[in-house]
Structures are given as structure tokens and as C-alpha cells.
Amino acid sequence: MGAYMSEKKYTKDHEWVSIVNEIATIGISNHAQESLGDIVFIELPSVGNSVKAKDEICVVESVKAASDIYAPIDGEIIEVNNNLENDAAIINQDAENEGWIFKMKISDSNQYSELMSEDEYKQFLEQ
Amino acid sequence: MPFAGFNMPINYKTGIINEHKNVRNHSGIFDVSHMGQILIENNETYLHKLEKYIPLQLKKLIKNRSHYSFLLNKDGGVIDDLIISNIDIKNKPYLYIVYNASRKKEDEEIFISCAPNAEKIYIKNCLFAIQGPDSINVLKNVIDIPENMNFFDILISKYNNNEIIISRSGYTGEDGFELSIPNESAENLITHVLKNENTMLCGLGSRDSLRLEAGLSLYGHELNEKITPIEAGLSWALDKERLEDENLNGNKVLSDQLKNKLSNKKIGLISTSKSMLRDGMTLFDNNNNEIGKITSGCFSPNLNKSIAIAYVTSEFNTDNPLFCKIRKKLELVKINNLPFVKKNYRKNGSVYE
């Protein structure tokens, strides 16, 4: 299978997922970042952990509240964004690029196709 | 977000941390019009009735000065904390009281029972707090403020031919002013003040982190009907002579507490990790005994760490390690004297704490 970059998808928990070569990159949506306000700390997940969709795997703390981050699909955590350790505010500045949180090797690509497209997520936010 | 029946902003455009820093370094404006403001005629009958609830000698309140005080229940518990001032309006002497929005119902029942013609002026007056070291410079181009005004002084001034009440006060640990201004002039005043680039509108989020850094108590957190001012570490605000007076609610409880050891003490905490300390988290000693609870917690922009106020049992020796249960983990927390930042109040033109 050749390299491909998928469209970005979103979960109902306000996370985004994009996939390159069966590796998913995950972060929180710009909308989530805006509602949380100033993010001061993130407890990153452990690399090597196998997780199931909907598992709580790490926590983002903002000045307003602590917010759980869930695995959007089944898989293994293979990398975390260590830059966030020193400066979690990167998520506020660029939630959907530089503010990525972790990468997963995914085991079931069907779960991915069930997530919302950008347009569907926009509609979901308006509800 | 909904707050005491009002829809209030947690923050404006630039966020809590930026608003917080702007107040510490320059100035910020809080719209606190949700708070209660009442005028009570300053006469002996009313004062005597109010002295059942307020632990001050109301007859001796100095004109044009404000005092931090409380309404007390029969057990000496705090019905509310408030600021009470002695001030003349249109040549008539009044007590002007500012109290918490969340306690309007309870407080007003008492005020009206003591003084049936008490006037709830928050219906026609907005209340703004301009806080921070630059507040005087931001305000002096807009309204007349005497140079020699000290912290907790209060007086009547004018804006747009309307009488406004100005006090040099606030709840951020900074120098600042609170303005009670008729609704019809409020927008003009704020637009006028905001022309100064050193100030900005600030929301409830930074109001909370500023008061917490300054070690100030908040009703519903450090204070409630089951806690006395002495247990909350606020005995300095009680008039000790009044504790001998049978007319004061809970006077026996309070004078006993002053003489004897309390069961709990109030402490400040600083997180040793990047985790946030929050209201309701439980505290443990070295032997895993639960010894207290956090009543307020936030991120401190000045310390770049999370800070908290907590009550722990008096038996706990604060030289020993203390742990906070954050989600599923116990994390070591550092005990810190309150306040977390120095206060920056003004007296005779200079800073005092």
C-alpha cells in the first residue's frame, strides 16, 4: 500500500484524527481549545500502551477545568508530542497542527471511517 | 456561564492568564454589577438591630471609611461576608453595604428586617472594579479622585452630573477602585475608561485567580454558614469588644474559639508538579490519613504553578509532608503562607501590605 494522507476526521469528544500510512495523529479540535481556555498542563499518555476506542488515555488541564482525552480508535500509542510537556499552550496556538498530542498505530480502519468529516463536525457543533 | 442567576463571562478575548497579568502589571476592569449594594439609613435603631448580625461597633464606624465584615448566624457561622461603609449621600448619613450576589436572598431578609426602608441600589446602579497599579492613572482622567485617598477610603464624586460612589478597594490584592454608578451613565464611563490602552475588561476567571493569589476568602468556598470567621482565619475582622456583647449572634461561640484551640486551620498550597489543584480535592498525611480538603484551587500566573487554599485538621504538623489526591494519584504538595503574592494597597501615598 502506498503512502496516503487521509482527510482529517473528528470525534464527538472534540478530538481530531488524521491518518498517514496507518499511523493516526490525534489532538483536540480548535473548538475544544477555545472552550477550555488557557491550557496549562497536559499529562501525556505512555508510549507502548495498547488502547481501545473511548479509553481515557490522558488529561488536558486548562485554567478552567481538567478534560479527559479519549482514544478515538483501537490501537497502540507509538509517539507523544514532548514539546507539550514544557509548553502546553502550543495547543491554544495551533490545536490542529503543532498542537498534536499523540500518534497511534491503528488496528481497525473501519473505526476511522465512522468518525465525522470536517463538515459533519461543524454541523455537530451547531446542534 | 451562569453565576448566581447572572450570565457572566469567565474571560474576554485574550483569556484568563492575560487578564490576570494585566491587572498585576497595569490595570483591568471587572463588571461586578451582579453584586448586592444596599443603602441603610444610619440611625440608632437600625444600627442596634444590625449589630445582632454584624460583628462591628457600627456607631463607631469612621465617616468615609469601609470595613470588611460579616453577617453571622446564631452559631457564629458566616451568612455572608461584606464591605460596610459609613457615607453621607445628599447630606444624609447612610451605611452602604456591598455583598455577594449568591447571598442576596439571605442578606436582604436580614437588612429589611432591621431597616424596612433599606434601598437596594444595585437595581439602579452598576458596580465596576478597576484594579491594578495603574488604576489611579487610568481613572484620574475620567473622574476626580483626591491624591490622598487611602485604601478602604470611600467618597462621593461626580461623572456626567451623576453622583457616583468611589471606594479605593477591590478583591485582587492590588491597588484599585470600585465605582457605583447609575445605570444610564455606566456604558459611557466604561467606554471612556477603556480608551486607556493600559486597561482591559476582565472576567470571573481572573477575578478568582487574583483573589486566590492574594489569599482572600470567597463565600461558598472558604466561607459558609458552618464556618466562623475565626475558623476561616479572619478574626482580625471581628471587633473583640462585640464578642462580649450578648446582642451579637454567636458571641459565646466566637469568644470561646478565640481562647481555645480550633479543630481546623486554613493553609495555602502550591503544586509540586504541573497538575492543577482544584476545589474539593482531598488531602492526606504521610500515613494515608485523610486530614483535609481544598476549598479553592487555580493556576497562578504569577507563580506559574497551581495554588490552593485548604482546611486541614489543627493536629496536622505543617512541617510534615502533605499529599493531594489528584485524579487517582497522590501528589506531594508544598505548604505556603497566605497570601501567595504581596498585597499592593495604598496608604498616605505609599504601598503597604
The closest CB to that of A41, out of B10, B17, B276, belongs to B276
pLDDT of residue A107: 83
The residue extents of the domains of chain B are: 2-213, 235-336
Confidence grade of residue B141 (pLDDT, cut at 50, 70, 90): confident
Q: What residues have CB less than 8 Å from B319, skipping those under 6 apart?
A: none
CB B254 within 8 A of CB B228: yes
Residue ranges in B26-84 assigned as alpha helix (H)? 44-50
Burial (Cβ within 10 Å: 0-12, 13-18, ≥19) of residue B287: exposed
Asked whether the beta carbons of residue B15 and residue A38 sit closer than 8 angstroms, the reply is yes
Nearest to A105 by CA among A125, A80, A82, A75: A75
Say whether pLDDT at B353 is over 60: no
| Average pLDDT over all residues of chain B | 95
Is residue B53 pLDDT above 80, yes or no? yes
**Is the separation of the CB atoms in B290 and B329 below 8 Å?**
no
CATH of domain B2-213: 3.30.1360.120
pLDDT tens track of chain A, all 127 residues? 444 566 899 999 999 999 988 899 999 999 999 999 999 999 999 999 999 999 999 999 999 888 999 999 999 999 999 999 999 999 999 999 999 999 999 988 889 989 999 999 999 999 8
Q: Let me know the angle formed at the C-alpha of B240 by B236 and B243, rounded to the nearest 5 degrees.
A: 120
Q: Is the peptide bond before B229 cis (omega within 30 degrees of 0)?
A: no
Cβ count near B281 (within 10 Å): 22
B28-31 and B201-202 beta bridge pairing:
parallel
Enter the DSSP assignment of B12: -
B8 touches chain A (CB under 8 A): no
Q: Does B10 touch chain A (CB under 8 A)?
A: yes
Q: Would an 8 Å CB–CB cutoff place B278 in contact with chain A?
A: yes
The backbone region for A72, taken as left when phi is positive above 0, alpha when psi lies in -120 to 50, beta otherwise, is alpha
Q: Chain centroid to CA A54: how far?
A: 12
Please report residues of A whose CB lies closer than 8 A to that of B298.
63
Which residue in B213, B272, B275 has the most chain A C-beta atoms within 10 A of its own C-beta, making it the best mutation to test that interface?
B275
pLDDT at A110: 87
Residue B327 in contact with partner chain A when CB distance is under 8 A: yes
* Residue of chain A nearest B279, judged by CA positions: A65
Q: What are chain A's domains?
A: 9-118 (2.40.50.100)
- Contact (Cβ atoms closer than 8 angstroms) between residue B16 and residue B205: yes
Does the interface predicted TM-score (ipTM) exceed 0.85? Answer: no
Size of interface A-B (CB pairs under 8 A): 39
> Within an 8 Å CB–CB cutoff, is residue B11 touching chain A?
yes
State pLDDT tens for residues B6-51.
Answer: 888 999 988 999 999 999 999 999 999 999 999 999 999 999 999 9
Strand partners of residue B331: B324
User: Side chain identity at B53, as an amino acid letter?
Assistant: Y
Give residues 53 to 82 of A whose Cβ lies within 8 Å of B.
59, 61, 63-64, 66
CB count, 10 Å around CB of B239? 17
Per-residue confidence (pLDDT) for residue B251, from 0 to 100: 97
Instruction: Give residue-wise pLDDT tens across range B146-162.
Output: 989 999 999 999 998 89
The pLDDT of residue A2: 43
- pLDDT(B187) > 90: yes
Average pLDDT over residues B301-325: 96
Nearest neighbour of A41 by CB, restricted to B15, B209, B274: B274
| Position B200 pLDDT exceeds 70 | yes
Tell me if B16 and A64 make a contact (CB, 8 A cut-off): yes
For residue A34, the Cα-to-chain-centroid distance in whole angstroms is 15
Q: Which three cell numbers stand for residue A127?
A: 446542534
Q: Where would I find the beta strands (DSSP E) of B259-304?
A: 264-271, 282-284, 290-300
What are B324's strand-pairing partners? B283, B331
Residues in a beta bridge with B167:
B154, B178
At B83, the pLDDT band (50, 70, 90 cuts) reads: very high
The secondary structure element, H or E, covering residue A116 is none
Does residue B202 carry a pLDDT above 70?
Answer: yes
Amino acid at B226: K
- Asked if the domains B2-213 and B235-336 are classified in one and the same CATH topology, the answer is no
pTM score, whole prediction: 0.91
- CB-nearest to B275 from A61, A63, A64 is A61
Among the four given CATH numbers 1.10.20.140, 2.40.30.110, 3.30.1600.10, 1.10.3720.10, the one describing domain B235-336: 2.40.30.110
